[in-house]
Amino acid sequence: MSLIVEGLRNTLVGPFTFSVKGGQCLAMTGASGSGKTLLLRMIADLDPNEGRITFAGIDRASLSAPDWRRLVALVPARSGWWADTVAEHFPEDREAEWRALAAALFVPPALFERSIEEASTGERQRLALIRALLAEPRLLLLDEPTASLDPVSTQAVEALIAKRLAAGTTVIWVTHDAAQADRVGNLTRHMQAGGVLAT
């Protein structure tokens, strides 16, 4: 399930050409505003872009946007929430699964009965990751998923993603922490000013 990106660009950043093998994590660092989030959004086909992307031998251009997003999940730095309570954002018929993921990430069970407005930034980050993992994406795009977490919760996120990698999921992980990039990445790239991806 390799990801192959060829000449991906928009009016602000790129072109990007790189590949990530199935079951591997590309850890991406770079200054704020350098284009890391834009790259993830282009891969997810959320922003206008040009270039070619293939994943698991499937050309993105051959799929509708909804079908592409069944393969690819983006966990943004700040996720959207539309219902009042935390639990309303998760499917009732898969409660055992999301509660197990929550336990692995040290999310308190009582949080699901509370208003989403009561969840801290770090709790919302973990909730967004749980929501994405429930979809079982084959390509997971993570935009600073531990930026607001303490070391224990950060370690829990890294351990959970490591299990997904071992199961064959392909991951691109954006982080400002060079040490984390070294821990989680099978390969690392640095986004330079102007949206240039360098080794």
In the predicted model, what is the mean pLDDT of residues 84-105?
94
How many other C-beta atoms are found inside a 10 Å radius of the C-beta of residue 56? 14
Find the CATH number of the domain harbouring 193: 3.40.50.300
Domain count, the chain: 1
pLDDT digits (tens, 9 = 90+) for 135-182: 999 999 999 999 999 999 999 999 999 999 999 999 999 999 999 999
Q: Which helix (H) or strand (E) holds 42?
A: helix 36-43
Asked whether the beta carbons of 43 and 17 are under 8 A apart, the reply is no
pLDDT digits (tens, 9 = 90+) for 96-107: 999 999 999 999
Query: Which residue in 29, 28, 25, 36 sits closest to 1, CA to CA?
Result: 25
Put simply, whether the predicted model's pTM sits higher than 0.85 gets the answer yes
Asked whether the beta carbons of 98 and 134 are under 8 A apart, the reply is yes
Please say if the pLDDT value at position 195 is more than 70: no
Residue range of the domain that includes 144 = 3-198
How many other C-beta atoms are found inside a 10 Å radius of the C-beta of residue 31? 12
Question: What's the length of the chain?
Answer: 199
